[in-house]
A and B are shown apart, each in its own frame.
Chain A
Amino acid sequence: MPNELEFEKPILELRQKVDELRQLMETTGIDLTEEVAKLEERLAELSQSVYQGLTAWQRVQLARQPGRPTTLDYIRGLCTDFVELHGDRNFRDDPAVVGGIGLLEGRPVTVIGTQKGRDTKENIYRNFGMAHPEGYRKALRLMKQAEKFGRPVILFIDTAGAYPGMSAEERGQSEAIARNLREMAGLRTPTVCFVTGEGGSGGALGLGVTDRVYVLEYAWYSVIAPESAAAILWKDASQAPRAAETMRITASDLLAFGIADEVLPEPPGGAQKDPAAMVARVKEKAVQALEELSRVPIAQLLQARYDKYRAMGSFAER
């Protein structure tokens, strides 16, 4: 298996042993059923203990695994008749953000998300899922379009952050993100977002002011990437594992802080081990959430969205 992480190696080795034993059984005819069963049991136990005891940094590494479903994988799994729509009508089409319209179990939806590539070539084309202002503006155009036609919006977030480049600054990266935050606050249609991998700061939030926020089990979401936090705190990017703990960026932290409405369990070992199962789980959640949200009158929905974000934070008053 490619892309195994360091902490997954013991699992991989044990699995290889099981496979070898099975092969031996086939070629020699010796009955090793009992030994195989024992090892399988140990494998399950080991796998459980490894994945349940993951550190924040190990979760960050899992969230970055290239085999995880991308936004387009989720869209293809969720929608029939998906039509991708391109461009911000101002400057260009940003390949780091994809979006379009489709049917979710027969009902119309707008789906938008940041898009990473699977290999280097794709990643260069997708700018590693880091959007320029035109990506946020495309997203906003599609959201306003959804509002006009009464379609709920489903958003997928998997980005290390908004692109920190010269042209992005010239074209107003700040303004593009800021406008999305405000417009999403007032969007007169139900909105849900899924943080499927990396939730990198303002670049993630720029697509994430929604009625519901679902975070996948191994996803992270933070005001600053662990490497950058380590560079600022300890002048040493290699302290990223420590920063990942300190910054409280895991799914369970997000649930505890009231940022995530729910954590979606991933298949054993992560979404990349069984993408189809993950996509199915996300679809189920999207259908359920929109079913609920679509029953709420719009004025009430907006008030609830306001109250939710207005209450975020922790302070004291003397």
Chain B
Amino acid sequence: MLKDLFHKKRQYATLATKAEDRAKGPAAAPRDNIPQGLVNKCQSCGALLISKELQKHLNTCPHCGYHFPVDARMRIDITLDPDSFFEYDPGITSVDPLSFPGYPEKLRKAQEATGLLEGAVTGEGTLDGHPVVIGVMDSRFIMGSMGSAMGEKLARAMERAAQKRYPLILFTASGGARMQEGILSLMQMAKTSVALEQLHEKGVLFVSVITHPTTGGVSASFASLGDIILAEPGALFGFAGRRVIEQTIRQKLPDDFQTAEFNLKHGMVDKVVDRKQMRDTLAAILRIHAARGWANAQ
């Protein structure tokens, strides 16, 4: 299985789209720390890492295990079986319902920088042979914030999972609701939650995978509603921002506050899973849920 992953990696390393994105000019330079270029410095241990080596390790530091972010396309590549992905609703895009100052420009820049129309990619595919509906948020796209378009994409993916009875896997990465869409962005929490209630009622598995960072309105809606909640090491996962809390309680918070490990300790996630074990862990969960055999099971 792991061998498959590394094989996939080589495919990814030769993807032409990234180079194209970069060729689009200064607007294409994202503010995140997704590894780009030939050499990247590990934020945690300071090691200099050649990008090929980094990619071989699925964007984790081979020395200290630090998890660099990955974009939505790469996440799909390293999670699903090769060439099994079929994308849903690629044409859904945001509008500017509040005529919010600067929002159309912000959207355009995010689209140019990521090559995506919106901050989540959804679709279906197979994982170790099991059909799944998958959704991946991309933290490069206005901090992965959820506006109406993202809410719609995710809600449709949830509805399809319910119709097809395919397990749903969502990789979350978001600063929360997208402020530029005001109350409509808040209501995406409700929209995705009513769709998840339907999925829940139908008894379909939903696995939520928390990646860095997952906060605010996304943390307080679907990210926290998985039947099983996995998290990548070190991923920030919480409702309120550290600074807001420090200002409210007027004391400094511990360093590990709201990390995946903190959440594990407090019972808010089921398991912290290293990126290199994520696909295997998901496969095991899918295998267990696909298995039948007890006479009186529903």
Contact = CB atoms under 8 A, between A and B. Distances in A.
B266 A185 contact: no
A202 interface: yes
Given A224-B179, A246-B100, A316-B93, A185 B223 contact: no
Q: How large is the interface on B (under 10, 10 to 19, 20 to 34, 35 or more residues)?
A: 35 or more
Contact of A318 (B91, B148, B240, B266): B91
Contacts of A144: none
A162 to B, nearest CB: 7
B74 interface: no
A314 B183 contact: no
Interface stretch (B28-36, B52-60, B192-200, B273-281): B192-200
Contacts of B93: 315-318
B27 interface: no
Interface residues of A, number: 54
Contact of B92 (A165, A257, A315): A315
Contacts of A175: 224, 268
Interface string A298-318: 000000011001101111111
A222 B186 contact: yes
A181 B245 CA distance: 23
Contacts of B109: none
Interface string A190-224: 00000000000110011011000000000001111
Given A202-B239, A257-B183, A174 B191 contact: no
Which among A163, A179, A248 has the greatest number of chain B C-beta atoms within 10 A? A248
Contacts of B190: 181, 185, 205, 208-209, 309, 312
Contacts of A221: 183
B91 A309 contact: no
A172 B193 contact: no
A304 B81 CA distance: 39
A164 B248 contact: yes
Contacts of B240: 162, 164-165, 168-169, 173
Contacts of B225: 178-179, 182
A1 interface: no
B183 A174 contact: no
A232 B179 contact: yes
11 contacts: A172-B268, A178-B224, A185-B190, A185-B196, A209-B190, A228-B244, A246-B101, A249-B182, A309-B187, A312-B191, A313-B148
Interface of B: 89, 91-95, 97-98, 100-101, 117, 147-149, 151-152, 155, 177, 179, 181-191, 193-198, 200-201, 216-217, 219-225, 237-241, 244-245, 248-249, 253, 257-258, 266-268
Ranked 3 nearest A-B pairs via Cβ: A313-B148, A164-B240, A181-B193
